[in-house]
Structure 1
Amino acid sequence: MARRRAMQWLAGAAMLGAAVPAFGQATAVPPTGAQFANIFADHAVVQRDRPIAVWGTGTPGGTVSVQLGDRWVSAKVGSDGNWRATLPAMPAGGPYTLSVGSAGAAAQTLSDIMVGDVFLCGGQSNMEFKVSASTNAWGTTRSSADTGLRFVVIDDANRPNVARDLDKRAKWAQVSPETVGDASAVCYYMARSLRQSEKVPIGFISSEWGGTRIESWISAPALSTVPDLRAGVAAVAQYGRDPAAAILADGERREAWWQANDPAATGQRAWRTEGFDDAAWGTIKEAAWRQAGIPALADFEGAVWLRTTIELTPEQAAAARTLRLGPIDKFDESYVNGTYVGGGSIEWAWRGYAIPAGRLHAGRNVVAIRVLGGANGGGFASPAPRGVELADGTLVPFKGPWRYAKGTPLKDKWIAPPPWDTPNSLTTLYNGMIAPFAGYGLKLAAWYQGESNAAEAGAYRRLLPLLMADWRRAFDAPKLPFFVVQLTSYGKPMTTPGQSSWAELRQAQAEAVAADADAGLAVTIDVGDRFDIHPTQKTLVGERLARLASVIAYGKPGTRSGPEAVDVTRAGADLVVRYRNALGGLQSYSGAQAIGFETCAGETCSYATAVPRGETVVLPGANRPGVTRVRYAWADAPFVNLFDKADLPAAPFVLPVK
């Protein structure tokens, strides 16, 4: 959990620095003359053996010339100042110079460009997890130098509107002991393995954000096809057009929640206003209320109001931009002089709310926060700089003491976040971290995500195929090989069979991949860590992705994955599970029996004896009346010992008995 908290803190810190400007288009103005889009940079890799799409900006109505090595093409600049060109396909090779120029203006020239294979890696924190934190990072780093292996990490960018370009020039890097530590570990180990087997330049693009949901990474048109998400996507679009109106509408939604769930809410409306007299309230330290030394709050879970003041000069009031509150446990609605400015729903996320122009004034100003929390401390979750941030980045800290009023006890309540709020946003990460380089040539894509959607396997069954189709459309590659890392093992082990949201999510991933001829599933059930949601053994995960890629993307002979259960049949008193892709047959480590098998009669499941025999597993005596299903590894953190002779783990499953 310590590593998880550390990564969440870093994610929160990143949000702190980008909370307000993150929700707009890139504002950088390109220099005079033709320029490439920011994904194109020194040391980049472009996709071999297919026409090479390049694009950028230039003088409206003008013409640009683009050259890569000895290949060149011209393109017309549109009235919007954007151009797009397609260079002829080239075989693997390089380094080359890539340049664009227009009449009467200096050319932009990029150096050390390689033609090879390009991978896109996306997801949440386990894809974001760096080489420097992975198992055997020291040895990996020392031997990593390879000028033919490059990578780029896409900066976090949360956008309600589709961004046409990255905010700044991408930083492609050659893999070396000095650079590789910052690369995605899973993506690097996959790319390293394929680099060794394919002997061509490889570049991988990492676009990931810890804690995020799959809905954040799908485009608005695609996500709008899901009826339950259509209203949220429309709200994000409104935020892109008119942030102030969208925030106020979201405040009304949250207020309606309080009216429905807290009978005292109506009488507390005055507590948010500037003129309310809170002198009778108690004072509280800027800390979690359970640790504040106040007996009445020591074990309290529910609503607590917090108020303080801030003194501003006329100049500071005019320059005020953002209310900075740090992380809050867990749900908050925040007000400045009575005006709602925003609310959050993640205890580790740093709050940064835009303050409407004119809302602050010279002299005394009041900030009021209604918090619903307490399960993880309540209120201010950790030390942080708090106050009002000015246009130049200066933070004016709060001056007055924090006063509090204890509200209604409320347990196990949940307030939905605004749909533009990372990490629970809809479509915004597609807009900011995929769309700006859509069309870049790719060889394959890899996806490692699902922890944040683990409780919603039913929805994930639709969303994962939607994501795969959406990215293929965005990169103009209808049959783009797409590889999914199945959720690994994490959580409390079970001593009796039961329900498991993680097992359900694994099954949803497996079903989505099985229905897609160009997709593959990397099973990782054996390399998890039940104490840590971020297991460090990323080498095997990357190499299993590489195995999938070798067969599906590169067409090499072999088996794409490990043992997969095909069906369960009755054989006298026994049940027989038949497998495919069990290279050399099945084997059970550390015993004659395979553990983790269950038979289910209705909703009641029982552990079953299981014996590997060739490419089957026999469940002796399990053909009992009422048994209709068999499950395997059906737990958040199952212990498993069933592998094939290639040391690949058998995949978790649930199947009907025929």
Structure 2
Amino acid sequence: MKMPYRSAFALPILLAAPAAAQDAPLLHPMFQDHGVLQRERAIPVWGDAPAGERVEVALGERKIRTRADKDGHWRVDLPALPAGGPYTLSVTARGKTQRAQDILVGDVWLCSGQSNMEFAVSGVLGAAGEIGKANDSEIRLMTVEKKTSLNPERQFPAPVQWQPVTPETVRDFSAACYFMARDLRASQKVPMGLIDASWGGTAIDAWRPEAALAKDPAARENLALLRTYRSDPAAASRLFGERWTAWYRGKSGDAAGTEPWQPAAPGEWHPLPSFDPWERWGVAALAQYNGMVWYRTEVTLTPEQAAKNATLALGPADDMDASFVNGVPVGVTYAWGVPRLYALAPGTLKPGRNVIAVGVLDTWAEGGLLGSADQRAIRFADGSSVPLAGAEGWRWRQAPASVEDPPHAPWEAIAGYSGIYNAMIAPIGPYGLRGAAWYQGEADAGSPDGYAGRLASMMAAWRSQFGKSDLPFLVAQLSGWGPRVPKPVESGFAQIRDEQRRAVASDAHAALAVTIDLGDVVDIHPANKLDVGHRLARGAESLTYGGKASPSGPWPVEARGEGKVIRVRFTGADTGLVAYSAALPIGFELCGTVPGSCRFASATLDGTDVLVAVGSGPADRVRFCWGDSPICNLYDGGGLPATPFELPVR
């Protein structure tokens, strides 16, 4: 799973198509064999039938009648039930009956986020043993396939299915979600239904509905661009293309008309070795290179061909491409496994020489323009095509190191606005949930400011959809990943952790699973998801099941100056604070008001407080466990780490 990156001129090819109501089954796909319904609250059930048709819904001995509305949709709310089952859910309309059998009533959890939530049981430490013992017919799994849509969908773009836990079904399921539910199943003794809707590399705005984004002043410009795209994609793409090219010139210093995508671009271009990742080309400068490389070729067209409706096909790029034809931006996509297909506006192609330029940005591991020769062509609407040259007809050159973090279009698949919510969360409808677990943030580490507000607005919007204003949210904090450093540094990952902490601190119905100690310096996907599951379950027990343990472990609440020390007060430290492997806690910093003003500070334990020595220098802020992969030894007596944080000194 690649590190996240974001951008797009053109709409990705993973769009959902709404299902026609008349073709839909009576029951929405959430209701099918082996499903789990939420206990101890009214049970919403919905589906489709001919407009005005009388509908009878039965769950066991309980029956309710209603009628389909003018759009062919119906919904009923069945009375609450205690945990139990199995039941049969049936719907009858116009002599047709649909049944969902082996339905249990218990607790339903929605698990969502990016790659660390998506991380499968098959990849965890001790996977073979965990898979081998996964046999529990009262834990049921549903995975929502990765799709996006420009508009909220009522139906899933791809089929979904409830499945009891077996070694076969659990193998590719979210490990953090499964281990959390396994703990809860053991403690609560009720059936568990797990919905995994996760997608690696995704930014939080892709998971926020448009109604939530509309309340965010920072989203105003991109929302307007998205709305333009819905009615006039060519106009929106031109507007975004102007933004992207201006960004590139600002980063590269290229004068207008001299950029690499221009047909007469100056500068040296090298013969392309192959369409393998550039790390394999044998070019020393690219052997460990994460950045942008430009690819360039030419194709000759007749006047008749140039006048046809056409698509540029390029094959996949890893991670992101920005593609141009004759100096005109035609598409940008971040998705490393997806072949690029960009519709060309009339007038883009010319009779005679046409220049194709592709800037490929790699942010982690291998990168490049990939795929087979038959994936690279100009394809015409009449079915004919002109192949693009093989490697011998392409050239390349390296972009300046300053070219990084481009702007992204609001219709881009995994980091645009609302697309994933529309196709993966909206179709779940008002289904009854016990709570939600959220494990995401890596994709937003490049722009962490305001993440707490974005997370809060997402939680509020999802609660509104599921009809429960106090729906519990379990937030898995980012684990350690990346280089360790001998002095204080600024860190987007550390800031995201603190933004997650602040969002949870402001929400009485949220809990934080601190995982800073479960990370891997060289792998953004640490394999210890068992302990992540344990900590999510602990938060769930505290929020929803009356558990007496603190939900998150040691929690900072205040930093106050007391002469030569700063007193940091903690709550939630069950059985007190301890420092592992040392007499004193480490990882504390004191800072001035501006970035880069932090220094390490010595600290001592004082009951459930920590005293940080002021020493010499400013002390406007205190930070703890800051950095990509910090080393920290402050825990509670039960073995939970203190959360990383930054607090103002009062």
Contact 1:461 1:511 in 2 (8 A): yes
Residue pairs, 1:124-135, within 5 angstroms: 124-135=114-125
Name 2:178's counterpart in structure 1: 188
Name 2:638's counterpart in structure 1: 646
Task: Summarize the Cα distance change of 1:303–1:534 in structure 2 as closer, same or farther, 3 Å threshold.
Answer: closer
Name 1:97's counterpart in structure 2: 88
User: In the TM superposition, what whole-angstrom CA distance separates every residue of 1:99-157 from its partner, at most 9, and x where no partner exists?
Assistant: 212123x2111111111111111111011111110112111111111011011111111
Question: What letter matches 1:436 in structure 2?
Answer: P
Task: Summarize the Cα distance change of 1:578–1:251 in structure 2 as closer, same or farther, 3 Å threshold.
Answer: closer
CA distance in 2, matches of 1:108, 1:392: 44
CA distance in 2, matches of 1:507, 1:645: 23
Question: What letter matches 2:570 in structure 1?
Answer: Y
Structure-1-length-normalised TM-score: 0.86
User: In the TM superposition, what whole-angstrom CA distance separates every residue of 1:398-454 from its partner, at most 9, and x where no partner exists?
Assistant: 455533376985733543122211222111111111111121111101111111111
CA distance in 1, matches of 2:139, 2:512: 24
The residue matched to 1:634 in structure 2 has which SS? coil
How far the C-alpha of 1:40 sits from its partner, in A, is 2.1
CA distance in 2, matches of 1:377, 1:135: 22
Name 1:341's counterpart in structure 2: 330
CA distance in 1, matches of 2:422, 2:202: 14
Name 1:579's counterpart in structure 2: 570
CA distance in 2, matches of 1:152, 1:529: 29
How far the C-alpha of 1:183 sits from its partner, in A, is 1.1
Structure-2-length-normalised TM-score: 0.87
How far the C-alpha of 1:488 sits from its partner, in A, is 1.4
Contact 2:474 2:510 in 1 (8 A): yes
Name 2:71's counterpart in structure 1: 80
Residue pairs, 1:369-384, within 5 angstroms: 369-371=357-359, 380-383=368-371
How far the C-alpha of 1:378 sits from its partner, in A, is 11
CA distance in 2, matches of 1:569, 1:268: 54
Aligned partner of 1:418 among 409, 414, 429: 409
How far the C-alpha of 1:534 sits from its partner, in A, is 0.6
How far the C-alpha of 1:524 sits from its partner, in A, is 0.9
Mean Cα deviation higher: 513-522 or 629-638: 629-638
Name 2:143's counterpart in structure 1: 153
Residue pairs, 1:170-189, within 5 angstroms: 170-189=160-179
CA distance in 1, matches of 2:507, 2:192: 25
CA distance in 2, matches of 1:371, 1:478: 45
CA distance in 1, matches of 2:281, 2:301: 25
Contact 1:23 1:240 in 2 (8 A): no
Question: What letter matches 1:614 in structure 2?
Answer: G
The residue matched to 1:552 in structure 2 has which SS? helix
Contact 1:191 1:202 in 2 (8 A): yes
CA distance in 2, matches of 1:631, 1:360: 54
Question: What letter matches 1:143 in structure 2?
Answer: K
CA distance in 1, matches of 2:301, 2:448: 49
Structure 1: segments with no counterpart, 5+ residues: none
CA distance in 2, matches of 1:277, 1:521: 51
How far the C-alpha of 1:168 sits from its partner, in A, is 3.5
Residue pairs, 1:80-479, within 5 angstroms: 80-104=71-95, 106-257=96-247, 263=254, 265-266=256-257, 283-287=271-275, 304=294, 306-309=296-299, 323-328=313-318, 330-335=320-325, 340-344=329-333, 346=334, 348=336, 350-355=338-343, 368-371=356-359, 380-383=368-371, 386-388=375-377, 398=388, 401-404=392-395, 411-479=402-470
Task: Summarize the Cα distance change of 1:453–1:40 in structure 2 as closer, same or farther, 3 Å threshold.
Answer: same
Name 2:610's counterpart in structure 1: 617
Count of aligned residue pairs for this structure pair: 638
Contact 1:371 1:379 in 2 (8 A): no
Question: What letter matches 2:537 in structure 1?
Answer: A
Name 1:548's counterpart in structure 2: 539
How far the C-alpha of 1:490 sits from its partner, in A, is 1.0
CA distance in 2, matches of 1:540, 1:93: 29
How far the C-alpha of 1:565 sits from its partner, in A, is 2.1
CA distance in 2, matches of 1:85, 1:202: 23
How far the C-alpha of 1:359 sits from its partner, in A, is 8.5
Task: Summarize the Cα distance change of 1:547–1:242 in structure 2 as closer, same or farther, 3 Å threshold.
Answer: same
Contact 2:316 2:338 in 1 (8 A): yes
Name 2:513's counterpart in structure 1: 522
The residue matched to 1:411 in structure 2 has which SS? coil
Question: What letter matches 1:652 in structure 2?
Answer: P
How far the C-alpha of 1:456 sits from its partner, in A, is 2.6
Task: Summarize the Cα distance change of 1:246–1:81 in structure 2 as closer, same or farther, 3 Å threshold.
Answer: farther
CA distance in 2, matches of 1:52, 1:322: 49
Aligned partner of 1:511 among 483, 491, 502: 502
Task: Summarize the Cα distance change of 1:330–1:434 in structure 2 as closer, same or farther, 3 Å threshold.
Answer: closer
How far the C-alpha of 1:617 sits from its partner, in A, is 2.5
Question: What letter matches 1:507 in structure 2?
Answer: D
Contact 1:38 1:168 in 2 (8 A): no
Aligned partner of 2:624 among 623, 632, 647: 632
CA distance in 2, matches of 1:459, 1:43: 41
How far the C-alpha of 1:381 sits from its partner, in A, is 4.2
Contact 1:94 1:113 in 2 (8 A): yes
Task: Summarize the Cα distance change of 1:494–1:377 in structure 2 as closer, same or farther, 3 Å threshold.
Answer: closer
Name 2:529's counterpart in structure 1: 538
Residue 656, structure 1, aligned to residue 648, structure 2: yes
How far the C-alpha of 1:225 sits from its partner, in A, is 1.4
Mean Cα deviation higher: 299-308 or 63-72: 299-308
Contact 1:160 1:239 in 2 (8 A): no
Question: What letter matches 1:154 in structure 2?
Answer: V
The residue matched to 2:570 in structure 1 has which SS? strand
Residue pairs, 1:3-82, within 5 angstroms: 4-5=1-2, 21-27=13-19, 31=23, 35-82=26-73
CA distance in 1, matches of 2:489, 2:29: 50
Question: What letter matches 1:497 in structure 2?
Answer: P
Question: What letter matches 1:207 in structure 2?
Answer: A
Question: What letter matches 1:149 in structure 2?
Answer: I
Contact 1:262 1:408 in 2 (8 A): no
CA distance in 1, matches of 2:359, 2:119: 32
Name 1:498's counterpart in structure 2: 489
The residue matched to 2:297 in structure 1 has which SS? strand
The residue matched to 2:479 in structure 1 has which SS? coil
Question: What letter matches 2:38 in structure 1?
Answer: Q
Question: What letter matches 1:227 in structure 2?
Answer: P
Question: What letter matches 1:475 in structure 2?
Answer: F
Question: What letter matches 1:629 in structure 2?
Answer: R
Contact 2:12 2:412 in 1 (8 A): no
Aligned Cα RMSD in Å?
A: 4.0
Question: What letter matches 1:169 in structure 2?
Answer: P
How far the C-alpha of 1:253 sits from its partner, in A, is 3.6
How far the C-alpha of 1:556 sits from its partner, in A, is 3.0
Task: Summarize the Cα distance change of 1:8–1:179 in structure 2 as closer, same or farther, 3 Å threshold.
Answer: farther
The residue matched to 1:36 in structure 2 has which SS? coil
CA distance in 2, matches of 1:490, 1:610: 25
